[in-house]
Amino acid sequence: MAARSARPALYISVDIEADGPIPGPYSMISFGAAVAGRQDGISYTAADPEQHTFYRELRPISEQFVPEALAVSGLDRDRLLREGADPALAMAEFRTWVAEVSAGAQPVMCGYPAAFDWTFLYWYLMRFGGASPFGHSGCLDMKTLYATKARVPLRAAVKGRMPGELLSRRPHTHHALDDAVEQAELMSNLMLWNPAQAPRG
C-alpha cells in the first residue's frame, strides 16, 4: 500500500504574555502570531513575518496574578479589565485567522520555547470554544530544533550560544506580536540552517 502523502505544514510563530505561571488560576493577557514559513516535503519557504500577523490583548479571567509576571509585559491590568478582548471572541477570531492563512496546509504552532506558550494557547483554545486548529500536539519547539541540528544538550540551546546568522536582528521587546515576528525569523533561519560541522556538547 502506498504511503499517504502528508499535507504541507504552515509554521506559525506564537508568543504569549501571561500574569502567572499556569493557565486557569492565572491569565493569558496578550498573544501575537506571525506566519514563519511553509514546508512542503523537504522544501521550506520562509515568509515575510510581518505580512500575516494576529494580535490581541485579553481581559483577565481571574483575580489572581503575579506582579513580577505582569510587569514583564508592560501591560496595565486595570486597562485590560476594562478594554481587553473577551477570551472566547479572541479565540474564535484566532481560529478563523489560522484557517485563512493556512488554507491547503496543516497549521503548526512554533515557539521559543514552545512549552510555556503552547500550554496557555492550547488551554485557552480548548476552554473558550473547545477546538484547536493545531490539534492537541501541533507545536514545534525551536529550542529542540536547534539542539537537534547543533547536536547540543537542550539546556545549551540558548540564543546566546547560537550562531549570529540564526538570530533575528529585531529586538525582543516582550510585546507579544513583536516577539512572535522576531521568533518567526529565527524559525525560518533554523529550518534553512544546515551546519557543515555541528558543534558537539
Q: Which H/E stretch holds residue 32?
A: strand 28-40
Is 174 assigned a catalytic role?
yes
* Residue where the block lists cell 529542540: 144
Please report, for residues 108, 144, 182, the alpha-carbon distance to residue 4 in angstroms, rounded to integers and kept in the order given. Answer: 19, 27, 34
Among residues 136, 172, 174, 175, which one is catalytic?
Answer: 174
CB 188 within 8 A of CB 44: yes
Q: Where does residue 78 rank: exposed (0-12), middle (13-18), buried (19+ CB within 10 A)?
A: exposed
Which residue numbers are catalytic? 174
